[in-house]
Amino acid sequence: MTTPIEIPSPLALYMDGLRNHDLGKIEGSFARDIRFVTPARTMECSEILSFLSALYQGFPDWTYDNDPPVLTEEGAIGVKWRQGGTHTGALAFPGFDSYPATGRKVTIPAHFFYYLVDDLGLHEIRPDPIPGGAPRGIFEQIGVDQPPL
C-alpha cells in the first residue's frame, strides 16, 4: 500500500535537476552518503553525476515525466518515472567502453525509483529492477550486449 505525499525539498530539487539536466541541482539534493543502488552496481556521488553527465551528452533530448510521489510502507518515497530520448551522441561513462551514437530512440518502461530522503538530502536512490528499466535498459536499447549497470 502506498500513500500520496508532499515532495520533500531535496527530492523536488533532484527532480527539477533531472528535468533540466542540471548536475549542480542534482548534486545539491544529495546527502553526503548518497548511493544509487542497482542489482549490478552501487554508485556514489561522483559516479552518479558522471553517469548522468554521460547520459545527457549521449541523449541531449532525454526527458522525464512522473506520477505523483508516494510513501511506501517501508518509509521510502516512490516516484514512477517515464523517460527516454534519442541516442545522438557518444555515451561515454567513465571506466567503461564508449558507445557511439546509434540514432536509436530509447523509451524506458514506466517504473518506480525509490528514494530515502530527509532534511540532509537524498541518501539512497534505488530503481525497481524491472526488465528494460533504467539504467540497464538504456544500454540494452542501444544494442549493448553486456550493460555495465
Say if residues 32 and 43 touch (Cβ distance below 8 Å). Answer: no
pTM for the model stands at: 0.93
Note down the domain range covering 60. Answer: 3-141
Q: Per residue in 48-87, pLDDT tens? A: 999 999 999 999 999 999 999 999 999 999 999 999 999 9
Tally of domains in the chain: 1
pLDDT value of residue 86 = 98
Task: Decide if 57 is inside a domain.
Answer: yes
Say if residues 29 and 13 touch (Cβ distance below 8 Å). Answer: yes
pLDDT value of residue 20 = 98
Q: Which helix (H) or strand (E) holds 116?
A: strand 105-118
pLDDT value of residue 146 = 77
Reported as half-sphere exposure (CB side, CA atoms, 13 A), residue 4 has a value of 2
Task: Decide if 88 is inside a domain.
Answer: yes
| Kind of pairing between the strands at 30-37 and 121-127 | parallel
Task: Decide if 146 is inside a domain.
Answer: no
The list of the chain residues with pLDDT below 70 reads 1-2, 148-149
CATH at residue 45: 3.10.450.50
Task: Decide if 15 is inside a domain.
Answer: yes
